[in-house]
Amino acid sequence: MKKLINDPFDVVDEMFEGFISANDHIIKPVGKRSIARLESPIAGKVGIVVGGGSGHLPAFAGYVGKGMADGAAFGNIFASPPSKPVVEATVAVNGGAGVMYTYGNYQGDCINFDKAQDQCREMGIPVQSVVLNDDVLSAPKDQASKRRGIGGLFLVWHVAGAKAEQMASLDEVVAATQKANNNTRTVGVGLSSCIVPANGQPTFSLADDEMEIGLGIHGEPGVKRVKARGIDSVIDEIMESILADLDYKGSDVALLVNGLGGSPAEELYVVYRRVKQICDANKINIRFKHVGEQVTALEMAGVSVSLMRLDTELHDLITNAVVDTCMYKKL
């Protein structure tokens, strides 16, 4: 294993130290594993707290700043943060209008964010949660509540942050975020595994002529392993799954082509090209688009494609938003 680290068990703490120092014009530490916007708490604004395991930057901490999240809690690599840093972030961002938690649908995150929510409510802080579940292939449509949250988190948080910046109420921010989640679908494909530093070995193995379709962002195996082939046919299969799960035909959409950490930008634009062709063929109008590494899995090679179906509210929120976070800007 060759990585730019010291002791594998110190990676998260040393990353946290460097991350805060590099972004001290945007964020401040509010605990050992928690951060908040520099100007927090903002009076009258709903605070948004995100979080999850480390290993996914820019998610989750990279989206703290104007226009997205107000605070974030860090866990170990691919491990949920305990409730304490979530509570610390909540207290730090509470400006009197309440706080919304929004995070991916993973058991550890659900348990620990729910625990933090209960603790903060006992302290008198109104807290509501929106759990994100955009991963089409992780569970059947009739069991969508079991689906994981993956690359579509980026699009949903775009909406959530924009709504909160309008000084909307907690109920209004939650409703917009839930609507965004309900209209977002994602499918990913992996070309390689990743190595959790403390383990020192790939999470799974793929032969040189194999790829994994439907994999998660923690190195979970995909729903099927196939022979490597030209990317157009892979994207055809991915888009077929997305379009079969939600009726996007004739709709306005937001599109994310998301690198998983180990694929060059050149390849992501090849993917975007094919996605655009499929959208055009189905009269799907791309109103917001982004290509880049937004929700990663360490050094995993691969890509995910996310579509969010837009109504007037979602369109205006995501296209007009001004975002200035640690690792993503939209001016």
Cβ(251)–Cβ(308) below 8 Å: no
56 has catalytic annotation:
yes
The owner of tokens 């888009």 is 239
Selection from 318, 306, 317, 315 nearest residue 152 by Cα? 306
Selection from 177, 185, 88 nearest residue 135 by Cα? 185
Q: How far is residue 234's CA from residue 215's CA, in Å, rounded to a whole number? A: 14
| Cα 42 to the center of its chain, rounded Å | 24
- The full DSSP string for 71-92 is EEEEEEETS---HHHHHHHHHH
Residue of 25, 158, 218, 290 marked active site? 218
- The full DSSP string for 160-184 is HHHHHHTT--HHHHHHHHHHHHHTE
218 has catalytic annotation:
yes
First CA to last CA across the chain, in angstroms?
Answer: 39
- Work out whether strand 252-259 and strand 285-292 pair parallel, antiparallel, or are unpaired: parallel
Residue of 56, 158, 290, 315 marked active site? 56
| Cα 6 to the center of its chain, rounded Å | 27
| Cα 149 to the center of its chain, rounded Å | 7
Indicate which residues carry an active-site annotation. 56, 218
